[in-house]
Amino acid sequence: MQADLKMALAQLNYTVGDFQSNSAKIVKTIEEAKKQGVELLVFSELAITGYPPLDLLTKESFVNAAIEAIHKIALCCNGIAAIVGGPSINPDAKGKPLYNSAWFLNEGKARALVHKTLLPTYDVFDEYRYFQPNREFNILNYKGKRIAITICEDIWDDRPVEKSFDRNHLYTLSPMQKLAALKPDFAINIAASPFSHNQHELRRRVVCKKAETYRMPLYYVNQTGANSELIFDGGSMHIGADGNIVHRLDFFKEELYIVGEAIRKEGTNSPEPSASRFPLAIELIHKALVCGIHDYFSKSGLKTAVLGLSGGLDSAIVAVLAAEALGAENVHGILMPSQYSSDHSITDAEDLVKNTGLSSEIIPIKDIYYSYEKALKNTFDGRAADVTEENIQARIRGTLLMAYSNKFGHILLNTSNKSEAAVGYGTLYGDMAGGLSVLADVYKSDLYKLAAYINRDKELIPANTISKPPSAELRPDQKDSDSLPDYNLLDAILFRYIEQNLSCKEIINEGFDAATVERVITMVDRNEHKRFQSPPVLRVSGKAFGFGRRIPIVAKHKLY
């Protein structure tokens, strides 16, 4: 057998459908690796198309362009071989028209070498909609090495699941078991695994367990960057045959790792970052949200953002994240005080503007609201004021923000959090308006932790914004607690109902008050129509609102 193969892992940020940019990035990395004597360079799943291409895969011209791009990249692979993820044509007249494949590029030629076996159809994944599952298992022989190649889900056949109706073993076969029987020297897994706050740990457990079980080194290559709602954190790994991490690439960074030559970075392979007083999950959520905003704008050809600044915590956090992602000069805040707004709400918002360097302006809505009140006086005659008048204020603000967005080309950032989105504590066409929902997958109770992390070096978010009781300020002395349980209690119930998929009865059995649980779940279920009309949500949890959670709008839930 020949000496060890000089390998490298390429962790890159791809744009869905941008074959020119993706190809250029791949070719540049191949040339860089070639100069350093790399013999085999590994890219991630569906690298050429970006992930997820969704129904673009139903367009023959799109698939042909992807395959053509792969063949052009292969022309650069002389003196070096590469594994690149992309679609390939299923030659069989039966079954789905495509495979999700690992292409092997060598000596100027490309061939679809390995096809994905396990096609996920849960949460945000719907791959069986497009791809035919693989049923043949072969080993790549290259430069004296026998290499087992798998694609993402292929190593998740016995995924860890906690407190869920989902099974640990979703599939009836194990691709790694099949391949291990062919006696490979090591395994490669190319992946497009989206970020969630605990996904890096789940991945580590899965990958390390596979390497340890089959006593072989395993090289895991994930992509980074964001495409629409999905954010990819990277975290590619080189795992030893003993199941321990030899090297893990940085989170949320493009990186080329040459096996055996990279210096282990401080904190890279430890469960907690060094010298940090904050949980890793909060740090990663912060990075994920900044990445999500940045890539949503840059990949869409957008530059500037606008948001409403209420003086509250949610809008303050979105403002800081947007300033970091886009540059403060590209973020504009609008303060829209009403007759119910407190003085400190205005001063807190103004302090935030000073701390962050955003541009801003004040547009009072009191007189606009009175004009609505006058116009509706006869229609509403004899009826007491209620939530209708509160919603009018929210819709006035939404209209002003959208007017600014239309006139100046700024994309409106929505500032609603997951707790509010879950129970419908928001106004359609008002504070739910926007082109991107930044915090709708972060619970309110976690926003306080995120705010502390943002303020870790200096005060960006004013202290009073964090400490004051949350309020929509749509009526005198209004507090969120007037309408909702305490956020710590509310979020604990919501987490069990949404992320853990527990029933009403199961949550009550954990010691929660029955009436409170039933009330919260009823609010969640009856507000599905609102979430259906919400902006796309940056996904940072294991179960975000959007296409990863599909609940019918018209249904009788009966507290299931």
Q: Which two tokens stand for residue 296?
A: 């949503």
Q: Of 9, 30, 24, nearest to 108 (Cα)?
A: 30
State the chain's maximal CA–CA distance in angstroms.
91
Cα 88 from Cα 111, distance rounded (Å) = 9
Cα 124 from Cα 193, distance rounded (Å) = 11
DSSP string of 326-364? H-GGGEEEEE---TT--HHHHHHHHHHHHHHT-EEEE--
Q: Which two tokens stand for residue 34?
A: 């070639």
Q: Which of the residues 39, 45, 153, 324 is marked catalytic? A: 45
Cis preceding linkage at 485, omega within 30:
no
Q: Which of the residues 6, 34, 77, 152 is marked catalytic? A: 152
Asked if 208 is an active-site residue, the reply is: no
Is residue 147 classed as helix, strand or coil in its secondary structure?
Answer: strand
For residue 60, what are the CA distances in angstroms to 43, 65, 88, 236? 24, 9, 11, 32
**If residue 58 lies in a helix (H) or strand (E), which one and from where to where?**
none
Q: Of 314, 283, 286, 298, nearest to 413 (Cα)?
A: 314
Strands 331-335 and 245-248: unpaired
Q: Which of the residues 6, 116, 444, 543 is marked catalytic? A: 116
Pure H helices in 381-513? 387-408, 418-423, 444-454, 463-467, 487-498, 504-509
- Residue 93: how many CA atoms within 13 Å on its side-chain side? 0
Is residue 179 classed as helix, strand or coil in its secondary structure?
Answer: helix
- Pair 319, 309: CB distance under 8 Å: yes
Asked if 152 is an active-site residue, the reply is: yes
Handedness of CA 350, 351, 354, 358 (dihedral sign): negative
Q: Which two tokens stand for residue 74?
A: 């292969």
- Pair 333, 319: CB distance under 8 Å: yes
Cα 341 from Cα 472, distance rounded (Å) = 9
> Catalytic residues, which ones?
45, 116, 152
